Structure 1
Amino acid sequence: MIQKSMLTKEITQKSEWDEAIGLFQEKDIYFTYDYMQPFRKNGDGEPILFYFESYLGKAAYPFMYRDIAESAHLKGKIPNRTYFDISGVYGYGGPLVEVNPLYDFSSVIEILKHDFQEIFSAYCKEKGIVSQFDRFHPLLNTHEFFADYCTVTPNKKTICLDLKSVEFLTQNLTSGCRNKIRQAEKNEITVVVNDRVETLEAFKQMYHSTMTHNQASDYYFFNPHFFDDIKLHQSSHLIVANAYYQDKIIASALILSFDHFLHHHFSGSLSEYRHLKPNNLLFYEIAKWGSEQGYQSFHLGGGHESEGDSLFRFKKSFSKSEPKDFYIGKKLHDPVKSDFLAQIAGKFSNGPSDYFPIYRS
Structure 2
Amino acid sequence: MGTKLFGLNDKKNWHDYLNRLNNKDVYYTPEYCEIHERNGDGVAQLYLYEEGSDFVLYPYLLRCLNTLPHLCQVTQKYGNLYDITTPYGYGGPLTNVKEEARLNEILSRFTNSFRDYCKNADIITEFIRFHPLYQNHNLFTCGEKFYIRDTIYVDLTKDYDEIWANYDTKNRNRIRKSKSYDLQIKHRNRNERQDLLRLYNSTMKRTGAKEYYYFSDTYFQDTLELLGDNVELIEVVTEEEKVVMSVIFMLGDEYIHYHLLGSDQEYLRLATNNLVVDYMVQWAKERGFKAMHLGGGYAGNNDSLYRFKKHFNKNGALPFYIGKQIHNETIYKELAASIPEECQGYFPVYRHSNLTQTRPAEKMIKIL
Which one of 277, 283, 287 corresponds to residue 283 of structure 1? 277
Which one of 310, 317, 322 corresponds to residue 328 of structure 1? 322
Aligned amino acid, residue 7 of structure 1: G
Match of 2:80 in 1: 82
Please tell me whether the aligned partners of residues 310 and 316 of structure 2 are also in contact (alpha carbons under 8 angstroms).
Answer: no
Which one of 240, 244, 263 corresponds to residue 237 of structure 2? 244
Q: 2 CA distance for matches of 1:297 and 1:71? A: 40
Aligned CA distance change for structure 1 residues 305 and 41 (closer, same or farther; 3 Å): same
Q: 2 CA distance for matches of 1:42 and 1:206? A: 20
Q: Deviations over 1:239-297 (max 9, x none)?
A: 01111222211011100111121111111111122122111111111111111222111
Match of 1:221 in 2: 214
Q: 1 CA distance for matches of 2:166 and 2:302? A: 20
Q: How many Å apart are 1:56 and its aligned residue?
A: 7.6
Aligned amino acid, residue 330 of structure 1: K
Match of 1:52 in 2: 49
Match of 2:12 in 1: 15
Q: Deviations over 1:143-193 (max 9, x none)?
A: 1111x212111111111101233222212211010111122223333322x
- SS at 1:327 equivalent: strand
Q: 2 CA distance for matches of 1:169 and 1:300? A: 14
Q: 2 CA distance for matches of 1:177 and 1:199? A: 29
Aligned amino acid, residue 216 of structure 2: N
Q: How many Å apart are 1:222 and its aligned residue?
A: 2.2
- SS at 2:299 equivalent: coil
For structure 2, the 5+ residue unaligned runs are 353-368
Q: 2 CA distance for matches of 1:296 and 1:265? A: 17
Within 5 A, what are the aligned runs for 1:1-361?
A: 6-12=1-7, 13-55=10-52, 57-71=54-68, 73-74=70-71, 78-79=75-76, 82-99=80-97, 105-146=99-140, 148-164=141-157, 165-192=159-186, 194-246=187-239, 247-347=241-341, 353=345, 355-361=346-352
- SS at 1:298 equivalent: strand
Please tell me whether the aligned partners of residues 154 and 316 of structure 2 are also in contact (alpha carbons under 8 angstroms).
Answer: no
Q: 2 CA distance for matches of 1:225 and 1:76? A: 34
Please tell me whether the aligned partners of residues 263 and 300 of structure 1 are also in contact (alpha carbons under 8 angstroms).
Answer: yes
Aligned amino acid, residue 41 of structure 1: R
Which deviates more, 176-185 or 59-68? 176-185
Match of 2:362 in 1: none
The percent of aligned pairs where both chains have the same amino acid is 31
Q: How many Å apart are 1:207 and its aligned residue?
A: 0.7
User: How many aligned positions are there?
Assistant: 347
Q: 2 CA distance for matches of 1:68 and 1:275? A: 46
Which deviates more, 320-329 or 310-319? 320-329
- SS at 1:210 equivalent: helix
- SS at 2:27 equivalent: helix
Q: How many Å apart are 1:81 and its aligned residue?
A: 6.2
Match of 1:3 in 2: none
RMSD: 2.0
- SS at 1:89 equivalent: coil
Aligned CA distance change for structure 1 residues 312 and 73 (closer, same or farther; 3 Å): farther
TM-score by length of 2: 0.89
Q: 2 CA distance for matches of 1:342 and 1:69? A: 15
Q: Deviations over 1:69-97 (max 9, x none)?
A: 33475479844961110001111111111
- SS at 1:225 equivalent: helix
- SS at 1:314 equivalent: helix
For structure 1, the 5+ residue unaligned runs are 1-5
Aligned amino acid, residue 85 of structure 2: S
- SS at 1:199 equivalent: coil
Aligned amino acid, residue 238 of structure 2: Y
Match of 2:361 in 1: none
Aligned CA distance change for structure 1 residues 179 and 81 (closer, same or farther; 3 Å): farther
Please tell me whether the aligned partners of residues 52 and 116 of structure 1 are also in contact (alpha carbons under 8 angstroms).
Answer: yes
Please tell me whether the aligned partners of residues 339 and 349 of structure 2 are also in contact (alpha carbons under 8 angstroms).
Answer: no
Q: 1 CA distance for matches of 2:69 and 2:104? A: 39
Q: How many Å apart are 1:109 and its aligned residue?
A: 2.0
